[in-house]
Each structure stands twice: as C-alpha cells, then as structure tokens.
Homo-oligomer: A and B are copies of this chain.
Amino acid sequence: MRAEIIAVGTELLLGQIVNTNAQYLSRQLASMGIDVYYQTVVGDNMDRLQEALRLSSSRADIVLLSGGLGPTQDDLTKDALASFLGRSIHIDRIAMDRIERFFMDRGVVMTENNRRQALAVEGGTPLPNETGLAVGNAITHEDTHYIVLPGPPKELIPMFEQEAKPWLLQHVLTHELPIYSKMLKFAGIGESALDERLEDLITAQTDPTIALYAKDGEVTVRISTKAAGEAEAMARLEELEERIRERGPEFMYASEDVPIEKVIVDFMADRGWTLSAAESCTGGLVAESLTSIPGSASMFLGGIICYTNQIKEKLVHIPHGLLEGEDVPGAVSGEVAEALAENVRMVMDSDFGISVTGVAGPGYAERKPVGLVYIGLAQRGKATEVHELHLQGNRETIRLRAAKALLYRLWQRLMSSKEEEQ
C-alpha cells in the first residue's frame, strides 16, 4: 500500500504556518504499515489542486488531503475532488444539522457560507468532525482511496483517529498483516542520550523496529511489529520493551503514548493524594499541564502564581529576609524554591507541594543567568527536595523544560512512595 499526502492551503505556501499535519499523518500511516512516497503542498487554487490530485492518483493507492474545508470561498478541496472524480457534491444532512445547531445554541445567525462546511462528495462516507464544523469525506474511486480531512490539527487529529483510521482498517487494509505498536515514554533524559543507550538494540533490531522522537521535553520510543494476531505481536513487543526499560528504568514513565502529567494525575487520583503548586517563572504552565488532564480536579487543589516578591510574601508566606536585602538568597534560589513548595502545601493543605522559580529570560533577574531554575518538592511528613537546573533555550523553551523537569521529579517521588507502600 502506497499513500500520498496533499496539504491544501496558500498559508502553507507563504510559510505562515508549518505543515505539522503532514508529519502527523505520515507517522500514523507508518504505524499502520503504509508507505508514504510523497507529501505535497498546494495552494487554494482549483487548477493546481486538480493537478495534484491527478498526479497523486496516478502513483498512490491512498490519497490523504488536509485543509480547504472551511466556509470561505477559497476553501476548494471537496469541490476539486468531486470535479476531478466526475462526481456530484451535496450537503450532508447530519453535518448540516450539527452546524445549524451550533449557531442556534449561540443565538447567532448562521451565515450562508457555513453551509459549505457540510459538503460531501457523492458516494463517499462522511467523516464526522467532533471538534469543529467541517465534515470530512472518505471515498473509493477506481481502486484509489481518498480521505479528506480538515486543516486545523485540533480537528484533523481526532477525525483521523476516530473516523479515518477505522475506515482505512475496515475498507482498505483488509489483506495487510496488521502492524502493532507500543509507545514507551521517557522523561528526564534527552533524545540523543537515550539514543546512545539504545544504540546497539536499534542497530541489531529489524523486527520489531525501534524509532525515537522527542517533543515537548519528552522522548517517545515506538516499537512496532507486523503479526497475524495481537497475542503474538504483544509477546514480541513486551520482550523488547523489557530490554529497553533496562537501559533506563528511572526515565521510562509509561508504556503508552501519554504525557507525564497524565501518569501523575491518574496515579494520585487513584490513591486520593492531593497536590498544589507555587509557580514563579513558569507562570501557570505546570498547573495548566496538570489541569489539562481530565480527572485532575480530584487531585489538584490549586496553585499560586507568585510572579512578584510581594505575592510570594503575602500569599505563600516567603520570609521577606529571603527575598530582599543585601546578601540574601533572592527569589531565584534553592531556599525560596524550598519554602514555596512547603508553604503552598501547607496553605492548600495538600499531600504534596511543588514549586518552581527561575530566570526564563530574556534579560537577567537578580543578576542571575537566564536558564537558572530551582524546583522544589514537598511532601507531608517527608523531607523537601530541591534541584538546581541550568536550562538552555529561549523563554518558551526554558519555561517548558522547567515545568517538565518538575513533573519528572514529582513522578519519581511518587514512584518511590509506591515502592514504600509495597
């Protein structure tokens, strides 16, 4: 099976946005055992879109299109596909009902152009859009399979996972040996350091295959194998998983594709343990990551973003003498990280308290270098731990890495508490 990906949108050709959809879809297709031979980007132009369709159809079994499903006049993808296939196009009733309801719920008059988002190519399967209004399409025409997906990743990803992937498995990949994958997730270690630890395995290994990639301060190791049945595949994958885990057990926090904050939320919620956070340089990022996870309401009590020294004093009761004056540790110090973690835990009356204070830059603070960050971790009845970090990168990267480092240390502490339980 060969696939091609066509991303539609003049904003891509102008370089206003980066084509993350092509990466996402390529990775998904690879995990399904489908080879991608070309990715193409074409603008919102009827002739060139049809030219791209003609070319991809001549080379591939599966053509994935993303973008150009919106309400505006330059959203042409479905019209171009219908015209290229010589099929008609119609309003999908279910999608149209959803759009009408959307506007009715808001008490807003629906503008006429929104009807375009309900268009479907004749003879295809409409793919519902859980997170937006534009309906997707799946069509088989002369042995080529077309999947039409919306451009915004927030809509494309759920639609691919919930609609397009099952459709492909059911209608297209019926004779392929299915591919089984496991995602092993690592934190607290960089991609190249992990690659080095796994180098001999990666080199020696042909089945299952091993692939590494890094994102947002976490490293994912994907191991994949083709097999006739799940039991056979899982046996092979689990055997390799154990060999990989041995190379860095202190860094591997999950054997499924979840962020570390989800592991933390689930683990603490299961035990009825509670958490609070005091953040300075991350400005809410730690709390935001944790509360992005459904179920966090039962373990995360709250946070204090103490951006100024006054708020550190008033709300987190940091002694003035630590913060201001000559020869004091200052807000960016281990002492303050420690007091923030302990005091926020007491203020919120939670089982654990975490803190972060540092210099995210640009520009120095307290004559301390950009990238210097302290994190604190307090636990009821236990000694508080503090770590000093020296992070590289711009403001955004430093904040992200500081938040991830704190979550990693919290996860480690939870794991050792778990061992003590047993």
Contacts and interface: CB of A to CB of B under 8 A. Distances in A.
A368 interface: no
A305 interface: yes
Interface string A20-33: 10111111111000
A66 B135 CA distance: 35
Contacts of A213: 9, 11, 16-17
A303 B284 contact: yes
A251 to B, nearest CB: 14
A132 to B, nearest CB: 8
Given A195-B72, A394-B131, A307 B315 contact: no
Contacts of A55: 55
A283 to B, nearest CB: 3
Contacts of A71: 191-192, 195
A23 B18 contact: yes
Given A15-B27, A41-B39, A362-B294, A306 B302 contact: yes
A287 B220 CA distance: 29
Count of chain copies: 2
A43 interface: yes
Contact of A212 (B48, B72, B393): B72
Nearest to A349: B310
Interface stretch (A87-95, A395-403, A414-422): A395-403
Contacts of A111: 192-193, 196
A311 interface: yes
Contacts of A177: none
A16 B221 CA distance: 11
Contacts of A22: 12, 15, 18-19, 41
Nearest to A105: B390
A14 interface: yes
A15 B26 contact: yes
Contacts of A287: 283-284, 305
Contacts of A296: 283, 307
A384 interface: no
Contacts of A303: 283-284, 303-305, 307
A215 interface: yes
Contacts of A285: 284, 288
A392 B212 contact: no
Interface of A: 9-20, 22-30, 35-43, 48, 52, 55, 70-74, 102, 105-106, 111, 113-114, 130-131, 152, 154, 158, 191-193, 195-196, 199, 202-203, 211-215, 220, 222, 277, 279, 282-288, 290-292, 294, 296-297, 300-308, 310-311, 314-315, 347-349, 361-363, 365, 390, 392-397, 399
